[in-house]
Amino acid sequence: MLRVRCLRGGSRGAEAAHLIGAMLGRAMTGWVQGAFQSYSSSAAAAQPQRALEENAVTEPERQECPVCAYNEWDPLEEVIVGRAENARVPPFTVEVKANTYEKHWPFYQKYGGQSFPEDHLKKAVAEIEEMCNILRMEGVTVQRPEPMDWSFQYNTPDFTSTGMYAAMPRDILMVVGNEIIEAPMAWRSRFFEYRAYRPLIKEYFRKGAKWTTPPKPTMSDELYDQEYPIRTVEDRHKLAAQGKFVTTEHEPCFDAADFIRAGRDLFVQRSQVTNYMGIEWMRRHLAPDYKVHIISFKDPNPMHIDATFNIIGPGLVLSNPDRPCRQVEMFEKAGWTVVKPPTPLIPDDHPLWMSSKWLSMNVLMLDPKRVMCDANEHTIHKMFENLGIETVKVNIRHANSLGGGFHCWTTDVRRRGSLESYFH
């Protein structure tokens, strides 16, 4: 160890201190130079590998953003299609009971937390695979979520549940421009559904897409009106007219499928899974480039807008005649054509555990003149023919039983078009 005595007094002390300082300076300089040379050598050797790693992990590829969609009808280039594999019946909790028809309650009481009937599920998987093949034949790039095991039970400080599925990407993902919005959802069995889509979303993010996740709700008991499911249909009609449903305003929640896009204007309904706080979150987030309009329907059990009000072209919308829109005059005054689709042909004995027959109008536009629709719904084929729209017919009847049609089973990632205003 180098010891230094403090020197005091006169010029001799100053000279001595200066000499010791110089000696220390030369010693430190030599050590620093040696250390820097050693570091520089190792850094130079590691630099090519580090550069490769940094480029692979952090730098987005310099290319056109793969995510871009402004409406429901521009030419479709890339789509996410859900998976029926390993799908589970959700536990029969208050929010599920409120969203399902009473005639199906025994099914949920028997199978809640278990797999959907095996034979039915196999047929659904095969139908969706064929749907994917047809989309590819139509020139569309198809992406799929990861297969997941939804049987595991998970616990949060507020609830316990098992999972459900990753069948309906429309419910959880919405593309607005070059942004993917990951909906917070409202069913406890869907709390971790986002995990199946994360590899895809991360890849889109790396390639330049914006990625937004709203506040995740706790889904505590306060989010749900515990008495709601036992109310009569008449009571539900009255409550729906007041904008009251099983979800309360305890915290923001929404399913992406309660929104539908038409350029600078998005339309949304307050529903069993989307509350006003969730709608307000979206309104603030998308402003000022987009306007969010709340519309409502004569529907005692609203959940997802696209089997009630499905916009299929600029100024062209399918409006469910059984659930009339209370603001339809607003669209008519704006010059829109409001089309009432024909009564669905699906047989009464076909199981629809999580939806209504009106999945017949839950169609996917491939472009303004082509639509993917149910091969069995001959009357709706005729309707599209009269509108000058070619039908691409696919049968997904068993997949319908899991809660969705073509629009539900997909999220359009990229449509070729630009941002325009269609609602004045």
d(CA 255, CA 238) in angstroms, rounded, equals 23
For every residue of 284-339, DSSP letters joined together read HHHTTT-EEEE--BS-SS---GGGTEEEEETTEEEE-TTS-BTTHHHHHHTT-EEE
373 is catalytic: no
DSSP state of 216: P
Could you tell me which residues come within 8 angstroms of residue 385 by beta carbon, excluding any fewer than 6 positions away?
391
3-state DSSP assignment of residue 353: coil
325 is catalytic: no
d(CA 55, CA 203) in angstroms, rounded, equals 14
Could you tell me which residues come within 8 angstroms of residue 163 by beta carbon, excluding any fewer than 6 positions away?
88, 148, 149, 150, 151, 152, 154, 189, 190, 192, 193
Burial code of 133-161, b = ≥16 C-beta within 10 A, e = fewer? eebeeeebebbbbeebebeeeeeeeebeb
Q: Determine contact, residues 297/326, Cβ cutoff 8 Å.
A: yes
Residue from 74, 255, 299, 412 carrying the catalytic annotation: 255
> What Cα–Cα distance (Å) separates residue 53 from each residue in 57, 243, 261?
6, 52, 39
Residue from 120, 253, 304, 412 carrying the catalytic annotation: 304
3-state DSSP assignment of residue 35: helix
DSSP state of 344: P
For every residue of 83-115, DSSP letters joined together read B-TT-BPPP--HHHHHHS-GGGHHHHHHHTTSB
408 is catalytic: yes
Q: Determine contact, residues 361/318, Cβ cutoff 8 Å.
A: yes
- Start-to-end Cα distance in the chain: 84
Residue from 68, 325, 408, 412 carrying the catalytic annotation: 408
3-state DSSP assignment of residue 351: coil
Nearest to 96 by CA among 361, 251, 257, 301: 301
Structure tokens at 153: 């039970």
Catalytically active residues, by annotation: 255, 304, 408
